[in-house]
Amino acid sequence: MPLDIQAVRGILPRGGTILGSSRTNPIKIEGGVDRIKDNLAAGGVDALIAIGGEDTLGVARQLFDRGVRVVGVPKTIDNDLSGTDYTFGFDTAVNIATEAIDRLHTTAESHHRALICEVMGRHAGWIALHAGMAGGANVILIPEKPFDIDRVCEYVESRFRTRYSPIIVVAEGAHPVEGQMALQAGELDSFGHVRLGGIGEVLAKEIEKRTGKEARTTVLGHIQRGGTPTAFDRVLATRFGLQAIDAVHAGDFGTMVALRGTDIVRVGLDEATSELKTVPVSRYEEAEVFFG
Ligand code: F6P
């Protein structure tokens, strides 16, 4: 599809994709890489700009190793790519989750229940950390720090003692310290990732059992990935786009555009994808100050 003015008019406030592309693993498909090369050649495409997270950009890196001229753009709600301070999509997801938590406070003021809000983020707790802090959560549970269910129940009870309902924000990848609770194993996708989701329900049952208080779960799921992007994400995506085109013109392939402070820089796709950027202990400790 030639991306002329008519084709891209009106996409600024839209989320998702006008191309209809989605995360898929061509390396797992026989002859997948050759088909990509043939299609690029047939379409007269000089360079490929891959926009996505660790999976998409991991494939982009492998395509570059196999001779495809690729530049990456970091886009994922998970914010878990190394080399960039932020990925676009993250701020939108955080704002949607924060608004949901704000709305849960209304129920929290009148009902005596523990309210659990499960957010996405895969193996990184960024969305939970930011939305939980912004939304004034009673406790935030992230994959980087296995939680102690006894401690969580103490926080829950202390919040009840202040005549308010506890709001617990749990990342889909969060898990208890080994052996504390039975968890379900999900199916694997084509990148070998387990399909996450469901920890909120498990947690609710456990809190009810241990505290005798009713616990309810809200799973935000794909709501967090849809709809109109925030101004921050629109500006970031636009700047990434400009810089990605510059990288192509400069012939700087195998790189990803990245945000460092307020500047856009280029980093190697290998640096961006070899290790996940997870929440550092010090950031979690800041949030912990407000638990209970
Ligand atoms: O990587 C982005 C993400 O939204 C994760 O937060 C989530 O675990 C996953 O994708 C969900 O993917 P799918 O819609 O394919 O189940």
Which of 90, 188, 225 to probe ligand 1 with, by most ligand atoms within 8 A of CB?
Answer: 225
**Token pair belonging to 215:** 């616990």
Tell me, using a 6 A CB cutoff, whether residue 78 lines ligand 1: yes
pTM: 0.95
Task: Report pLDDT for 189.
Answer: 81
**Token pair belonging to 170:** 């749990």
Tell me how far the alpha carbon of residue 42 lies from the centroid of ligand 1, in angstroms.
32
Ligand 1 atom nearest 127 alpha carbon: 6
Tell me how far the alpha carbon of residue 109 lies from the centroid of ligand 1, in angstroms.
32
Rounding to the nearest 10 degrees, give the CA dihedral for residues 24, 25, 30, 31: 80
Task: Report pLDDT for 178.
Answer: 85
Tell me, using a 6 A CB cutoff, whether residue 53 lines ligand 1: yes
Tell me, using a 6 A CB cutoff, whether residue 122 lines ligand 1: yes
**Residue 166 CB partners (closer than 8 Å, separation 6+):** 108, 114, 115, 138, 139, 155, 156, 159, 160
- Active-site amino acid positions: 78
**Token pair belonging to 277:** 């950027």
Task: Report pLDDT for 112.
Answer: 85
The whole-number mean pLDDT for each consecutive block of 10 residues of the chain, a chain of 292 residues, reads 93 92 89 94 96 96 96 98 97 98 91 94 97 97 97 96 93 91 74 86 96 96 95 98 98 98 98 96 98 94
Task: Report pLDDT for 184.
Answer: 67
